[in-house]
Structure 1
Amino acid sequence: MKKLWRIVYSRTFLVVLSILVAVGVIIAAVSFTANAIPAVWLALELFSIVVAVSIVNRPMNAAFKLTWIVFVLAIPVFGALFYYILQSNLEVILYRRRFEYQAKALHDYICEHDVYGHKAQDVLAQKDKEQLKLAHYMEDYVGYPLHVNTDGQYFPSGEAMFKTLVEELKKAQRYIFMEYFIVDFGYMWDTILEILKEKAAQGVEVRFMYDGMNSLTLLPYSYYKTLRQYGIQAKVFSQIIPALSTVQNNRDHRKITVIDGQVAFTGGVNLADEYINQIKRFGYWKDAAIMIKGEAVANFTLMFLQMWNFDTKEENDDFLYLQEHMANQKDTIQTDSVFLAYGENPFDGEEVARRVYLDMIQSARESIDIMTPYLVLDDETIDNLTYAAKRGVQVRLLLPGIYDKQSAYLASRTDFDLYLKAGIAIYEYTPGFVHAKVMLVDGKRATVGSVNMDFRSLYLNFECGLYIYGHKQILADIAEDFEECLAQSKQVTLEEFQTTYPLYKRIIGCCMKILSPLM
């Protein structure tokens, strides 16, 4: 009974209840009006047809079109009405305008202050001209330049990353920028918070940003005010409010730390104890992260400042951090390995993270190794992945043996038949949950970041990642991590899957996949 009351009085329950009440009021108001004035119902039916036609002709992924059309047609009149409300409310328009402005400012700044020239492109031109396609796209259309003169370290677990992160935070002298999707009380966050408080007291500028989803279940709603009392500049991205808006479906899923413009971290690791296996959830938590030093840190600084200023209307001098970085970092590290730190913005229409994955898959010649917690892909990505296997590329997928979400498990397995018949090897990590987001291609290039291989990461969330080409140590460490994980995993065979996987799970999984573009 106590558990029930805790649920009833929780913020999550109140938000959901408020939204359901709003939906009920709209349905009741429309039904009453339509019954009183029959012509209104006819007009709404015609409106549904117009909405369905407009969805078909919108420039969006086919999976999203199918899901919305099913939604509109399955709920006559009201489906179209809610689609219109969700897609055209003022909040959506404002967010889109803000991020369009930020994206333009980012691109213009890089074009005007590119002190690095085209060194990275020159390196790629000598080593692998095919990779220049991704370079041109990133620099010309998105605004993220490639860099050389960068070094890094790959971490095969959250524990390894946490140890180094603590060491680097303690070295901070000028500023610390941190942006994370999940923050939860416990050993990990308490340790980091103490360092941030100490650094702020020493005069180091500390900016900390977390996603508003935390306010539902993990943190107090006004926790950012508590952080401000410690001298930390704190912001929350998109607090969850009881309102009908698709904006609340666009979460800041990034994991970024930038220290003095010298060091940057990214990967799958959030700031909560399960990520470092301080507590056990879903068995052993297998994650991955990466640290870089040198020129490529600038892109992470740029990404953080873009998000930090998403709700700022007035001009500021934040880009001075990049000027300083460019002046101080130039040629301090001498390497010809190529690094590309990139961000995914659901409002710019570019689908950057998805294009990075597709470019790597399409250019694969020998092998593709993928770690991901979720595998729910659109038709184009599935076609490219299966075609890679059919043309002789060794494709191996490492998925969780224990899932954190049953819906993700069911949706991920929907296409197992297709993958296995194409010759893709699927492994499920026996010790527990795989949260790492890593792709390694031909042993020559890889990407590590926050991007899952599902609709939410590839289309709906703000994400980040790091593309690495030619860094022998990092690539060798990633390859070793894959082999160690595969040795602890069970391979899924086509015969076993077809004979043992229950029909009811297949049906539920198909339903989950239809809804996945909206979840």
Structure 2
Amino acid sequence: MRRKWFRIFLRRRLFVALLLFLQVCFLIFLVSLGSKYYSIVTVLLTLVSAGVSLHILAQNTKGGYKLIWIAIIMLFPVFGGLFYLLVKLQTSTRKYSRRLERVLRERCESCPLESSILDRATTDYPDYVNEMSYLEKFAGFRVYDGTETEYLSPGEEKFSRLIEELKKAEKYIFLEYFIIQEGVMWDSVLRILTKKAAAGVEVRVMYDDVGCFLTLPKNYPAYLAGLGIKCTVFNPFRPVLSAIQNNRDHRKIFVIDGKVAFTGGINLADEYINLVERFGHWKDASIMLRGRAAWSFTLMFLQMWAIVNDTTEDYAAYYPWSGRDCEIQSSGYVQPYADSPMDTDNVGENVYLRILGNAKKYVYINTPYLIVDDSMFSALTLAAKSGVDVRIVTPCHPDKKLVHVATRSYYRDLIEAGVRIYEYSMGFMHSKIFVADDTTAAVGTTNLDFRSLYLHFECGVMLYGCDTVKKIKEDFIRTLDLCEEITAESCRVSIITRLFQSLLRLLAPLL
């Protein structure tokens, strides 16, 4: 079966690559050899490029994206403007935006299912009133009490707890992942899902088509349907030049009965639980929520399902606390959040910026990639210059070599500003965590790079005063024993390497 799927993979991938190549060649042919009116066409398209450049400069978007598009237009003044219009002015992008607006309105209508505890939470933790208020009042993500949290690192711990909780499912199981791949982890999960579906539990699976481009066959939804499992594919990849193909579902969500939820960096593939070794030991992190806050992830999943399938969901039918109270008692508060590239706000970035801006003693960060724009760079360096102990752990053995070269290009400037940089010597650091001042932490799916912060759908959890915060810090400190600290001296490179790094930083929005 797997050999057959591999042959299908290969044929599909080669076909897609060929179609994209032919489209680019055709566009170049139209521009350069179009007709006897070539000189007139050239002038008109150059004017188009000039107009597009002015439009780009006027946009309320990140400077890195403006710079890369302006650079493309400068290098290809005839072709660049036309290419921008082709990529950006797509009906599919507007279609997703309209669906998102509709679904958000429907979500607001479901909010009366819960009462806000924002006033109480901000009274208990006044130092974080801005963070809580921003996420609840502007971004639309409630803060919760009555939620137990469990930090799970590395991936083996999540796998064990996930299997244990899945067996308890009674009403529904929802999962949404960037990568799913056949192997011990997914096969173990799928066996339980199949049994639960046969027993009448509603099971839904959603995965990203690009994330699973080389791991699942095109007909996999039909295969799962045969097992009684509903399945949909996020943003199916099509061999057409389009900006929407950049927007991927990078979230990792597992919801069980609306009472238990998992998120974090761990996908459903064996490398994430160190059964397959690709880049040394795979260090990752996840968090499990039990109680009221798990409902927030239920909403996130149902919203995305409605967007992908252009359907309407009965959110109230899945609310687990109708007619009864949640009896779970816990310390602190929990605030799940999600980020979408389809709106004008970068929620994931703002969460990280608020943690850095509010820190008094320390901020410890795990991230697989460190490719940031001016605002994040300034926040990191300003915190360090203000006396905050800022430490960042990145991988020693990268999964993407060019991205790692770009990551290292930031080291020297950050170190000279007082930020301490470490590389995980044992292998690949895939965890995405911020922890600060023994009081607050964020665990989720958002990397410190352009794609995660500005192009992908992401999610995470903010913790305030939870016991889990100290466990996250303790895990970070233990991890430092397995890391090598980077010095400014070790960042010295040749002029050629420096120029190459500068080029990669220019291309950072595309990495």
Which of 309, 318, 322 aligns to 1:327? It is 322
Matched, 1:504 2:508: no
Matching of residue 41 in structure 1 with residue 38 in structure 2 = no
Of 294, 297, 300, which aligns to 1:303?
Answer: 300
Q: Does the CA-based 8 Å contact 1:215-1:240 persist in structure 2?
A: no
| 1:207 paired residue number | 204
Report the counterpart of residue 442 of structure 2 in structure 1.
447
Cα 1:278–1:234, aligned 2, differ >3 Å: closer, same or farther? same
Would the aligned equivalents of 1:121 and 1:146 in 2 still touch at CA under 8 Å?
no
Residues 69-104 of structure 1 deviation map (CA, whole Å, 9 limit, x = unaligned): 111211112111010111101111111211222233
Deviations 1:237-295 (A, max 9, x none): 01111111111111100000000111000010000000000111100000000101111
Aligned to 1:138: 135
Q: Secondary structure at the match of 1:231?
A: coil
Aligned to 1:117: 116
Cα distance in 1 between the residues matched to 2:129 and 2:9:
55
Q: How does 1:411-490 map to 2 (within 5 A)?
A: 411-472=406-467, 474-490=468-484
What is the correspondence of 1:280-291 to structure 2 with a 5 Å cutoff?
Answer: 280-291=277-288
Determine the C-alpha separation between the residues in 1 that align with 2:135 and 2:108.
Answer: 10
Residues in 1 aligned to 2:233 and 2:141: alpha-carbon distance in whole angstroms: 25
**Letter paired with 1:518:** L
User: Judging changes above 3 Å, is the alpha-carbon distance between structure 1 residues 459 and 35 closer, same or farther for their aligned structure 2 residues?
Assistant: farther
**What is the CA distance between 1:475 and its match in structure 2?**
1.3
Q: Deviations over 1:310-338 (max 9, x none)?
A: 134443424421xx324267341123411
- Letter aligned with residue 250 of structure 1: N
Between the aligned partners of 1:143 and 1:420, the Cα distance in structure 2 is 36
Q: Give 1:54's aligned residue.
A: 55
Whole-Å Cα distance in 2 between the matches of residues 387 and 69 of structure 1?
Answer: 29
In the alignment, does 2:273 pair up with 1:276?
A: yes
1:398 aligns with 2:393: yes
> Quick one: structure 1 residues 510 and 114, their matched pair in 2 at CA, closer, same or farther if it must change by over 3 Å?
farther
Q: Which residue does the alignment assign to 1:227?
A: 224
The one-letter code of the counterpart of 2:385 is K
Gaps of 5+ in 1: none
Matched, 1:516 2:499: no
Question: Structure 1 residues 193, 8: closer, same or farther in 2, change over 3 A?
Answer: closer
1:71-86 alignment runs, 5 A limit: 71-86=72-87
Which amino acid is the alignment partner of residue 411 of structure 2? F
Please give the alpha-carbon distance, in whole angstroms, between the structure 2 residues aligned to 1:8 and 1:277: 25
Aligned partner letter, 2:362? S
Q: One-letter code of the match for 1:187?
A: V
Q: Is the 8 Å Cα contact of residues 121 and 135 (structure 1) preserved in structure 2?
A: no
Contact 1:372–1:436 under 8 Å retained in 2: yes
CA–CA separation in structure 1 for the residues paired with 2:494 and 2:167: 52
TM-score normalised over the length of structure 2 = 0.96
Percent identity of the aligned residues?
40
In structure 2, how many angstroms separate the alpha carbons of the residues matched to 1:360 and 1:168? Answer: 31
CA distance in structure 2 between the partners assigned to 1:174 and 1:6 by the alignment: 38
Contact 2:9 2:214 in 1 (8 A): no
The alpha-carbon distance between structure 1 residues 232 and 382, as it changes in their structure 2 partners (threshold 3 A), is: same
Structure 2: gaps of 5 or more residues: 1-5
On the 8 A contact 1:157/1:287 being kept in 2, the answer is: yes
Q: 2:178 aligns with which of 173, 176, 181?
A: 181
Task: Pick one of 124, 132, 140 that aligns with 1:126.
Answer: 124
Corresponding letter in the other structure for 1:504: I
Q: 1:507 to 1:278 in 2, by over 3 A?
A: same
Cross-structure match for 2:374: 379
In 2: Cα distance, 1:62 partner to 1:70 partner: 12
- Asked if 1 retains the 8 angstrom alpha-carbon contact of 2:49 and 2:81, the reply is yes
Task: Rate the CA distance shift 1:496–1:9 in 2: closer, same or farther, 3 A.
Answer: closer
Bigger shift: 429-438 or 29-38?
A: 29-38
The number of equivalent residue pairs is: 506
Per the TM alignment, residue 352 of structure 1 is displaced from its structure 2 partner at its CA by: 0.5
Match of 2:352 in 1: 357
